């Protein structure tokens, strides 16, 4: 099951990477053009994160994102993806109330946006929902540590699992999720030693964001790593480009050219 440049990324092929020590490369996308670019660049997992609420919607948290908004983002991203595994974040309150809700709402992402998997936040309390989804043939990615849908309870975007009890609780939740059937687990903003221990104990791959180098893969919000989202810049983000200033500069130049009458020129006219 060696991954090659042309075959689509599947759940078994992702899990198999862990034993081969091949790191999983994941990023977020919320529309066609970004998904297309990430797919062409060889990203393994494209997550339509509920971070869309913040980076696309200008909201102050991920909580307001609705099912319809999320499905719209997923349908756009779907059209750009040929090879990567497309994963949809289930929005806040679309899966926490009952397993029936979780099934119906997750099912919409598979039927209406043709995603390859869904991601749910939380540990033991969502294990029953995870089990039902997986039994129904819907692959689930877990998410522990800093879970942004619980931001009201957590009180801020701070590092989680810092003390021994919290770290043990996280490991227990990770094992419960693995038993429930998740195929991979996102670990967000936790000490690297905790992530290392969890990664060593699990058979499924861990995908870190602010969780150090020992996870089986890494994910970042694309708008952060491209330097597009400037509202805040977390320590764990490495910026591979600075697109916000580049865009401002290009748009200013366009503004000057229109105002001075130098655009459009002869070459740009019929």
Active site residues: 188
Site for ligand KIV contains 118 (CB under 6 A)? no
Collapsing DSSP states into helix, strand and coil, what is residue 257?
Answer: helix
Q: Which is nearer to ligand KIV, 152 or 164 (CB)?
A: 152
Backbone angles phi, psi at 156, to 5 degrees: 165, 170
Question: Residue 145: beta bridge partners?
Answer: 188
Number of residues binding to ligand KIV, judged by CB under 6 A: 11
Measure the CA dihedral 109/29/3/219, to 10°: -110
- Residue 71 as a binder of ligand KIV (CB under 6 A): the answer is no
Would you state the structure tokens that stand for residue 64, as one six-digit string?
Answer: 């307001």
Which of 12, 4, 7 is closest to 139 using CA atoms?
Answer: 12
Which of 50, 78, 117, 139 is the binder for ligand KIV (CB under 6 A)?
50
- CA 170/CA 121 separation, integer angstroms: 12
User: How far is Cα 105 from Cα 258, in angstroms, rounded to an integer?
Assistant: 47
- 90: contact with ligand KIV by CB under 6 A: no
Options 14, 167, 195, 219; binder of ligand KIV; rule CB under 6 A: 219
HSE on the CB side for 37, CA within 13 Å?
Answer: 9
**Of positions 221, 223, 225, 226, contacts ligand KIV by CB under 6 A:** 221
Q: What does the buried/exposed string (b/e) look like for 182-208 if buried means 16 or more CB atoms within 10 Å of the residue's CB? A: bbbbbbbbbbeebbbbbbeebebbbbb
Using CB positions, name the residue nearest to ligand KIV.
Answer: 49
Binding mask 157-196 for ligand KIV (x = CB under 6 A): -----------------------------x-x--------
CB distance 55 to 223 below 8 Å:
yes
- Least CB distance to ligand KIV at residue 67 (A): 15
Interacting stretch for ligand KIV, rule CB under 6 A, among 45-53, 69-77, 194-202, 255-263? 45-53
Coil, helix or strand for 221?
coil
Q: Does residue number 216 form part of the binding site for ligand KIV (CB under 6 A)?
A: no
Nearer to ligand KIV, 106 or 264 (CB): 106
Q: Which residue ranges make up the site for ligand KIV (CB under 6 A)?
A: 28, 47, 49-51, 89, 186, 188, 209, 219, 221
């Amino acid at each position: 099951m060696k991954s090659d440049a042309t075959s689509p990324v599947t759940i078994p092929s992702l899990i198999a990477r862990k034993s081969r020590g091949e790191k999983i490369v994941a990023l977020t996308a919320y529309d066609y053009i970004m998904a297309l670019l990430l797919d062409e660049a060889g990203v393994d997992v494209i997550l339509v994160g509920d971070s869309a609420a913040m980076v696309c919607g200008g909201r102050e948290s991920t909580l307001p994102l609705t099912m319809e908004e999320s499905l719209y983002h997923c349908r756009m991203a779907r059209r750009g993806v040929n090879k990567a595994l497309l994963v949809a974040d289930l929005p806040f309150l679309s899966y926490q109330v009952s397993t029936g809700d979780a099934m119906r709402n997750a099912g919409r992402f598979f039927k209406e946006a043709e995603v390859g998997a869904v991601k749910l936040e939380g540990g033991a309390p969502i294990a029953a929902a995870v089990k039902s989804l997986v039994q129904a043939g819907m692959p689930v990615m877990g998410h522990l540590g800093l879970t942004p849908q619980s931001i009201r309870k957590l009180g801020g975007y701070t590092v989680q699992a810092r003390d021994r009890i919290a770290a043990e609780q996280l490991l227990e939740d990770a094992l419960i999720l693995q038993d429930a059937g998740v195929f991979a687990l996102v670990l967000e903003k936790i000490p690297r030693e905790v992530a290392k221990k969890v990664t060593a104990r699990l058979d499924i791959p861990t995908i870190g964001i602010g969780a150090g180098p020992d996870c089986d893969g890494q994910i970042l919000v694309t708008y952060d790593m491209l330097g597009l989202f400037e509202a805040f810049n977390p320590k764990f983000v490495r910026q591979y480009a600075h697109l916000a200033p580049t865009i401002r500069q290009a748009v200013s130049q366009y503004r000057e050219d229109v105002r001075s009458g130098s655009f459009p020129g002869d070459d740009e006219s019929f």
